[in-house]
Amino acid sequence: MENCNVVILGAGAAGLMAGIEAARRGRSVRVLDHARAPGEKIRISGGGRCNFTNRLLTRSNATERFISQNPRFALSALSRFTPSDFIARIEAAGIAWHEKHLGQLFCDGKATQIVDLLVRELRGAGGALHLQTTIEAVRRADEGFIVDTSQGPIAAQAVVVATGGKSIPKMGATGLGYDIARSFGLDIVETRPGLVPLAFAEQDLARTAPLAGLARPARVSHGKTRFDEDLLFTHRGLSGPAILQISSYWREGDAISIDLMPGADIAALLAEQRGQAGRQALHNALARHMPEKLAQFLVAEAGLEGRLADQSNKALARLADQTHRWQVRPVGSEGYRTAEVTLGGVSTRELDAKTMEVRRVPGLYFIGEVVDVTGWLGGYNFQWAWASGWAAGQAV
């Protein structure tokens, strides 16, 4: 039987990082993946340019920007392998990058540069990558574990599960990591799609259909959580960064509140216009501040019609409510088919925050998205993958 120190399940962002670090420490490492190519999600991320980290992540804002039953769990790994550490690696490899808004860092060229770098570093450190290898089971052996695969069993002292979440099954995502956790009796926080477009019911869609394709800067709120980002009307409901962000907090049955003109006071603006150009239709007056289709939609939703001059202050207040506090109740999300991440996962209570090792099963580790740690949109999820992979790589 093949024998090594460490078997890593999953050659994604977290698994490759853990493999590099373990191999650099002199461990014999095999990274297994059923896909044809490693790092497929890195390749397609960020529109092909990979938003590989976020420069604005700090120890003090991390508990807000990562969602988990225990948001403090991620702090140890995140503060030992920081965005600057990852930037230093890609700069050393000559990979050019740039910052977009909100601290989001992207490659100037293709995301595959990052995949190539990780594979090069893994092999350079002596680690082996076994692709197109199906993992059947992980079982305990007298010393360590046996991983049953389509290429035969492999014995290892340590196993690192880095199989990611359930998002985008078409790209090879499976629930394997959760199955392995269950087979060892570990607690799993219920999983659900995150960073995902939200869908409207038929009757709401009928009213918003003319707006499909329209993008607006918006403030989207769910309880005390809010995001100021772009919102996109779609043929199914709503998308765009503001909606993806709030989707990670939204639960079925909840309403979200949308301000379609953040920072403005539409009632005051229209009251002022009423004195100067009251003869124009209300929707035309509103259309001075936003696309015409959206103005027509909001006026209709507020149940108003006619000229601006005919609108009472109460009517303008109703229109302002519709514009600044539009209440929407999505019926669902687009699900794992399009979700960027999976919320929930292996409970952090099961893991040592410094090493990612399962407390009750020495030698077994979980890293990356399969763990109940999910970041905001904007490079946070890759940073968690790098940091948790790095932490496990120091310990295995």
Asked if 11 is part of the footprint of ligand FDA (rule: CB under 6 A), the reply reads yes
Nearer to ligand FDA, 146 or 290 (CB): 146
CA distance 359 to 340: 29
* Shortest-Cβ-distance residue relative to ligand FDA: 12
Among 121, 340, 350, 372, binds ligand FDA (CB under 6 A): 340
Output the smallest distance, CB 60 to ligand FDA, in A.
20
Contacts with ligand FDA by CB under 6 A: the residue count is 36
Asked if 357 is part of the footprint of ligand FDA (rule: CB under 6 A), the reply reads no
Nearer to ligand FDA, 173 or 315 (CB): 173
Strand ranges for 33-167 from DSSP E:
51-54, 66-67, 97-99, 104-107, 128-130, 135-140, 145-149, 152-161
CA distances from 226 to 80, 222, 258, 275, 319 (A): 29, 6, 9, 35, 22
Asked if 87 is part of the footprint of ligand FDA (rule: CB under 6 A), the reply reads no
Output the smallest distance, CB 340 to ligand FDA, in A.
4
Part of the chain binding ligand FDA (CB under 6 A), chosen from 167-175, 227-235, 236-244, 292-300? 167-175
Q: Which of 260, 314, 313 is nearest to 287 (CA)?
A: 260
Asked if 392 is part of the footprint of ligand FDA (rule: CB under 6 A), the reply reads no
Q: Which of 216, 293, 220 is nearest to 257 (CA)?
A: 220
Output the smallest distance, CB 140 to ligand FDA, in A.
19
CA distances from 121 to 22, 31, 32, 98, 318 (A): 11, 13, 16, 23, 60
Output the smallest distance, CB 96 to ligand FDA, in A.
17
Instruction: Determine the 3-state secondary structure of 317 from DSSP.
Output: helix
Q: Which of 43, 6, 171 is nearest to 117 (CA)?
A: 43
Asked if 41 is part of the footprint of ligand FDA (rule: CB under 6 A), the reply reads yes
Radius of gyration of the chain (CA): 25
Which tokens go with 292? 């015409």
Asked if 350 is part of the footprint of ligand FDA (rule: CB under 6 A), the reply reads no
Asked if 379 is part of the footprint of ligand FDA (rule: CB under 6 A), the reply reads yes
Which tokens go with 57? 């992540």
Of all residues in the chain, what percent are helix, strand and coil, respectively (each to 5)?
A: 40, 25, 35
Instruction: Determine the 3-state secondary structure of 50 from DSSP.
Output: coil
Nearer to ligand FDA, 166 or 222 (CB): 166
Part of the chain binding ligand FDA (CB under 6 A), chosen from 4-12, 57-65, 226-234, 299-307? 4-12
Contact by Cβ (8 Å): 10, 162: yes
Asked if 56 is part of the footprint of ligand FDA (rule: CB under 6 A), the reply reads no
Asked if 382 is part of the footprint of ligand FDA (rule: CB under 6 A), the reply reads yes
Nearer to ligand FDA, 11 or 261 (CB): 11
Part of the chain binding ligand FDA (CB under 6 A), chosen from 37-45, 65-73, 115-123, 326-334? 37-45
Asked if 197 is part of the footprint of ligand FDA (rule: CB under 6 A), the reply reads no
Amino acid at 369: E
Among 7, 8, 10, 118, binds ligand FDA (CB under 6 A): 10
Contact by Cβ (8 Å): 49, 106: yes
List strands edge to edge, sheet with 104-107: 51-54, 104-107, 97-99
Part of the chain binding ligand FDA (CB under 6 A), chosen from 220-228, 274-282, 283-291, 381-389? 381-389
Asked if 102 is part of the footprint of ligand FDA (rule: CB under 6 A), the reply reads no
Asked if 115 is part of the footprint of ligand FDA (rule: CB under 6 A), the reply reads no
Give the contacts of 15 (CB within 8 A, at least 6 positions apart).
8, 9, 31, 33, 160, 162, 163, 367, 368, 389
Asked if 341 is part of the footprint of ligand FDA (rule: CB under 6 A), the reply reads yes
Output the smallest distance, CB 107 to ligand FDA, in A.
10
Asked if 15 is part of the footprint of ligand FDA (rule: CB under 6 A), the reply reads yes
What is the binding site for ligand FDA (CB under 6 A)? 10-15, 33-35, 40-41, 44-46, 50-51, 134-135, 162-164, 167-168, 172-174, 176, 340-341, 368-369, 379-382, 385
